[in-house]
Structure 1
């Protein structure tokens, strides 16, 4: 795959890994990070999985809107994409791995059309493409 970037962004993490701060070059993101309680932390900050799920949801929504436009489908203001990212032990290598569940809510569409649109967005979304084959991801559409 050859990509010709039209935009670049940088963020820097300082501190102790999951107990740290992350700041984007633009300054629009300036967050304290903390491991979630489920991973032994105090949960008093964001975490990489939360940031990843937010970025993926926004990216997927953009892909969904473009696919809808290309297919002549109309999306309502209630259309929503929820990406749930999980982290846990990777049984294959003893490290950690990620999972993702992508829930696409497409009110006003027929069930088959919603499923087709969600799959088309999953095929087009840069986050989905970047993780394909690396993260167990499921896409569910509902109307």
Structure 2
């Protein structure tokens, strides 16, 4: 699949990977990386799963508003993404994700239809499709 590139983000990580520094080339982001306490780290920094969850939630919300057009009311819509990391069946490490779509102004069936369309359109969802377990749920409040 060819990509008609409109923008490229560039970031650099230094140090020990999960322990070190990360920053974007333009300086918009510059932060300390640290594993969460649950993984034996200090928890006093940002970890890759947090970054992935933040990016995916923003991307999914944008995708949802795009596919909604004038057909759905996305007023006060929000997207929560949880990205989990743990062991897999092969003795390695794997990710899983949960996406919570909140659409307070839509009936459940319409909200579920819009969430499905957004999940099909979102670049993060496309990139992970078939690679990690993803659960999408819809809530009205």
The answer on 1:24 being equivalent to 2:24 is yes
CA RMSD for the aligned pairs?
0.8
Q: CA deviation at 1:53?
A: 0.2
Residue 42 of structure 1 corresponds to which residue in structure 2? 42
> TM-score normalized by structure 1?
0.95
> TM-score normalized by structure 2?
0.97
1:127 corresponds to which of 124, 134, 137: 124
5+ residue gaps, structure 1: none
Q: CA deviation at 1:72?
A: 1.4
Residue 106 of structure 2 corresponds to which residue in structure 1? 109
Matches within 5 A, 1:71-90: 72-76=71-75, 78-90=76-88
Q: Residue deviations 1:78-120, cap 9 Å, x none?
A: 21100000000112x2111000000000001011000000010
Write the distance in 1 (CA, Å) between the matches of 2:78 and 2:6.
Answer: 27
Total equivalences in the alignment: 140
Q: Residue deviations 1:55-78, cap 9 Å, x none?
A: 000000000001111x611211x2
Q: CA deviation at 1:42?
A: 0.6
Write the distance in 2 (CA, Å) between the matches of 1:67 and 1:109.
Answer: 15
